[in-house]
A and B are shown apart, each in its own frame.
Chain A
């Protein structure tokens, strides 16, 4: 495990998952997931497509209900939260969707205003504008403020999706394949941006990815999900040089 995570292990536990299970139509996607994440830790989850990585992070924000197990975020059991508590949780946990999920009938400004006006009950237009400019500056897209999502490139959409999440200043950010579908250069830019965001906002993050570059740049710890359980855990270098040939081959083939 890296020095960073060892140091942070002494801090508060933000996410605690024990024996988490989830099945869809008899297909057991998550069999026995156990995971503890401390504040400011950055975890990357690797695994084949369709193995249940996205299901795991959707369970964390209450988008999918697990079948059984313990799922605590900020010390509270997510499955026992009512709608208001879930909404409060969701203002503290940001989620970056694989397909960006920008509201395509709204401009970039309106996309960013949307969570802000609804959650912070913010009426001060000047303050809202300042926040929008601040997050757009953080993702390096100030010039896109009045554009529609359809006018943006794939990389720009990723950045705006990130900005929309950052505007609520979440303590945890969940990234669902942030570099999928991007060319290698843009993917690297997004990975570097994730690191920059982690440093600037001191956010804890779980990154679901296939991109080994992204995993290398942005992770403190890596977990490999296979057959509903975490088959391997450790730092990037530990796993890459693992004695287990299956783990090593995974790194060569992904």
Chain B
């Protein structure tokens, strides 16, 4: 019985993986095929940015503040308080900013895309698009995947900036430090090879959120339960994929650092 269910889950996993791979290939095929739906792309990008801005801002601010407050006593113990801004900035830029932003977007944007496309599938709006001679892959999927791919890196920069401000406030809760000095100390240990891999991986995070959300929504099963499942699995799978991508990115970034140094 247990071996049967294991086989079944392996089969489901492989079917999903195959389906997602095919969907990704289809996306790249449609990407360069006209018509280019630039208006829909801008609308989606605007909506993603606007909808997630407050949530990312609040989370990034708290992350910067908490990380500083938690690290302060440890650094104080061996008199390395002046390293605090630098340590926080490296953590934020390399890891916390991209991953937290991507996870928030997986929850908010990925589920939104999954639910929207899922309900369009259930109410036959995708079929209606197809029978009116419009390619839904081009209009719905390409625009949404491109907008998440380009908006997540921008949101990460925003999250990093707000986190820095949170960290600056945390330092000033106990001591006094001017903003220019804080920024100087924060940027000092940051190098080109910290920024580049961290930025590149955010494009992949954005792509994963968009393509998984679209895939789950586009092939959502009929009925309202199908829409719920599409939204839910879009979040779960894209969050997992973000961590796996991050793991790979860390290894590649290390290689990049060795090469650059």
The count of chain B contact residues (Cβ–Cβ below 8 Å) is: 13
B132, A119: Cβ atoms under 8 Å?
yes
Q: Is the CB of A90 within 8 A of B131?
A: yes
A75 in the interface (beta carbon within 8 A): no
Interface residue A74 (Cβ < 8 Å from any Cβ of B):
no
Shortest CB distance B107–A (Å): 21
Tell me if A103 and B125 are in contact (CB < 8 A). Answer: yes
CB-defined contacts of B135 to chain A, threshold 8 Å: 83, 87
Which B residues lie within 8 Å of A58 (CB)?
127
Which of B35, B134, B135 has most chain A Cβ within 10 Å? B134
Measured between beta carbons, the chain B residues less than 8 angstroms from A168 are: 132-133
A53 on the interface (CB 8 Å rule)? no
Q: How far is the CA of A83 from the CA of B33 in the complex (A)?
A: 12
Q: Which of B123, B127, B130, B131 counts the most A-chain CB atoms under 10 A from its CB?
A: B131
B128 within 8 A of A: yes
User: For the complex, is A99 an interface residue (Cβ under 8 Å from B)?
Assistant: yes
- Of chain A, the residue at the smallest CB distance from B127 is A63
Which single member of A83, A94, A99 contacts B124 (CB below 8 Å)?
A99
**Cβ of A15 under 8 Å from chain B:** no
Contact A63 B123 (CB under 8 A): no
B130 A97 Cβ-Cβ under 8 A: no
Answer whether residue A88 sits at the interface, using C-beta atoms and an 8 A cutoff. yes
CA distance A118 to B36 in the complex (A): 11
Instruction: Determine if A63 and B130 form an interchain contact, defined as CB atoms under 8 angstroms apart.
Output: yes
Closest residue of chain B to A120, judged by CB? B133
Number of A-B contacts (CB under 8 A): 55
In the complex, A91 has a CB within 8 A of chain B = yes
- Check B132–A104 contact: CB distance below 8 A: no
For chain A, what secondary structure do more than half of its interface residues adopt (helix, strand, loop), or is it mixed? mixed
Q: Are A103 and B131 in contact (CB under 8 A)?
A: no
Within the assembled complex, what's the spacing in Å between the Cα atoms of A122 and B237? 41
Cβ–Cβ contact A61 & B131, under 8 A: yes
Interface size for chain A: under 10, 10 to 19, 20 to 34, or 35 or more residues?
A: 20 to 34
Which among A58, A83, A99, A101 has the greatest number of chain B C-beta atoms within 10 A?
A: A101
| Complex Cα gap A101–B131 (Å) | 11
Report the bound CA distance from A91 to B130 in whole Å.
10
Known contacts A99-B123, A101-B123; A91/B133 CB under 8 A? yes
**When the two chains form the complex, which single residue of B123, B127, B128, B133 contacts A119, counting CB atoms closer than 8 Å?**
B133
Closest residue on chain B to residue A98 by CB atoms: B124
Is A246 engaged at the interface, CB distance under 8 Å to the other chain? no
A99-B123, A101-B123 known; A115+B130 contact, CB < 8 A: no
CB distance from B144 to the nearest CB of A (A): 13
A114 within 8 A of B: yes
B125 lies within 8 A of A104 (CB): yes
Residues of B within 8 A of A83 (CB): 135
Q: In the bound complex, do residue B124 and residue A101 qualify as a contact, i.e. CB atoms below 8 Å apart? A: yes
B128 and A118 form a contact (CB under 8 A): no
Q: Are A114 and B130 in contact (CB under 8 A)?
A: no
Residue A236 CB within 8 A of the other chain: no
Partner of B134, one of A93, A98, A114: A114
Determine whether A230 belongs to the interface, using a CB cutoff of 8 Å to chain B.
Answer: no
Identity of the chain B residue whose Cβ is nearest the Cβ of A161 in the assembled complex? B128
Residue in A91, A97, A104, A164 whose CB lies within 8 Å of B127? A97
Q: Does A175 contact B (CB under 8 A)?
A: no
Q: How far is the CA of A93 from the CA of B131 in the complex (A)?
A: 8
Q: Measured between C-beta atoms, what is the minimum distance from B137 to chain A in Å? A: 10
Q: 10 new A-B pairs (CB below 8 Å) besides A97-B128, A103-B129?
A: A61-B131, A63-B127, A90-B133, A95-B127, A95-B128, A97-B124, A115-B133, A118-B35, A118-B133, A168-B132
8 A-B pairs closest in CB distance: A101-B128, A115-B132, A101-B124, A87-B133, A95-B131, A90-B133, A119-B133, A91-B133
19 CB contacts below 8 A, A to B, read A63-B131, A88-B133, A90-B130, A91-B132, A91-B133, A99-B124, A101-B123, A101-B127, A101-B128, A103-B128, A104-B123, A114-B132, A115-B133, A115-B134, A118-B134, A119-B132, A119-B133, A164-B132, A168-B133
* A residues lining the B interface (CB < 8 Å): 58, 61, 63, 83, 87-88, 90-91, 93-95, 97-99, 101-104, 114-115, 118-119, 164, 168
List residues of chain B with CB under 8 Å of any chain A CB.
Answer: 35, 123-125, 127-135
